Amino acid sequence: MPASVGSNQYQARRRPGSLPAVTKVGSLVAQAAGPQRRCGQIWGVLCAEPVGPPHWSCSRHPTLEQRQTAARNPASPPEILEMLSRDHAISVREAMARNSGLPSTVLERLLADKLPYIRKSMVYNPGCAMQHLRRLAHDPAPEVREQLASKRPNLDWLLDQLAQDQAVRVRLAVADNQECPITVLRELRNDPDPRVRARVAGWALPLDWTWELARDHDINVRLAVAGNRACPAEVLDELSGDPEPDVRQILASHPNSSGPVLARVAAASTDIYTLERAAHHPCCPPGTLEQLSLHSRFQVRQAAAANPACPSGALRRLGREKSYKVQAAVARNPVCPPDLLGQLIQRGNPDVCHGAARNPSCPPELLNQLASSQDVSTCQAVAANPACPSGALRRLAGSQDLLSTHHAVAGNPNCPPDILLQFAQSTNSWLRENVAGNPACPQDLLLQLLRDPNKDVASKAAHHPQLPPHVLALWQVAH
């Protein structure tokens, strides 16, 4: 018998011709870990033999993986769980802490484990009763209480108790809890720590609470109010006069910011990033965009040039700039006048031509002209433009060695049916998938692609809106 099995006194207690006692314990744990779950019968046989302290034998012979699996198994007998709850390996006790079939004595032992990590794992155990949760709520380790505050959302009394915890990290976890009741948030909004009040400010709160937090003396609380997507417009109007530049920077891109708010933010700011955000905002007033189009930094002028609310006079002035980045932004603007768009294309800069090719308001004659460009990205943008005429798409489909352009042509709703049929016979599966996803794909072609050997192509064709419902039902049954 190997020396690692146990001491001599345990060897002497083994009956002649029988397996070593610890081998039977290892077999017992393996059976408890397995699907047969016959560990109760084996445990009865094992107890009939004087094998010494069972927890000593069990912790010596079975492998770590066996002990972990048995600790996780809700069907493991109480005797095995008792032994494993004293296991020296942390991973075994951690696995047991999440076991929903633990006896009360094992639960109590794990709740008293010397390692906070094990007690933290008990938070996830569905077998924990109210008295166990109350014990965890008074745990001396703040990380255990923090875990309890963030992972037990359905007990209001528990969150109410933890909201008064001395540790800030616990109160922060309560404020972050997605199921935190409004009564608890009412108490936390007056928390002495500004980090907790900032977390509360991120919730959709009653208007009077939001007003109160918007006037908080701490900058982080006001930043949280300004960044709240549910913040009312009148509170944002109040915050637009905040002396802190960071608050104005957030307001410049807030979706609820009104035109007057953006105008005040732009007038009070010198930060380039704030002005660029304000110029990008769809609610930015034309007068403010007119002023921003004269800014000394090209990033601000570029953002103003791309805004559809930019006045026509400002667009024409920006179109005459030397900066190609500003010109490209003007060319992308859907309200750019056609004559100005033609002038920009005549300059021949690839970035400007690419911006014009992406413009959904670009006239068909200009798209025809751009389809002959030597720049690949410009041709791709023309092919993807829903306003591109069929003649330009046919010409782009005949171009050689431009597979990426062919992909864009195949997905364009204006693509001629004969071109779609040609692409549907391609050996490139991505090209066939784009054909199957084309809104104008003919129904007979969809039925052909439904039998495509590539599952992505067939799935795209099956979920096409033009496919009859009964055909989709038959396809789903077959697959």
3-state SS of 402-464 is CHHHHHHHHHCCCCCHHHHHHHHCCCCHHHHHHHHCCCCCCHHHHHHHCCCCCHHHHHHHHCC
Query: Rounded to whole angstroms, how far apart are CA atoms 415 and 399?
Result: 15
The answer to whether 370 and 353 have CB atoms below 8 angstroms apart is yes
The model's pLDDT over 415-466, given as tens digits with 9 standing for 90+, comes to: 999 999 999 999 999 999 999 999 999 989 999 998 899 999 999 999 898 8
Query: Which residues, 6 or more positions from 286, have their beta carbon under 8 angstroms from its beta carbon?
Result: 309, 310, 311
Structure tokens at 227: 């960044």
**pTM of the predicted model as reported, rounded to 2 decimal places:** 0.73
End-to-end Cα spacing for the chain: 58
The answer to whether 196 and 175 have CB atoms below 8 angstroms apart is yes
> What is the pLDDT, as a whole number, of residue 61?
66
The answer to whether 272 and 247 have CB atoms below 8 angstroms apart is no
Q: Name the stretches of the chain with pLDDT < 50.
A: 1-60
The answer to whether 174 and 197 have CB atoms below 8 angstroms apart is no
DSSP for 275-289, please give it: HHHHHH-TT--HHHH
Query: Which residues, 6 or more positions from 376, have their beta carbon under 8 angstroms from its beta carbon?
Result: 402, 404, 405
Look up residue 19 and give its DSSP letter. P
Structure tokens at 100: 């929903």
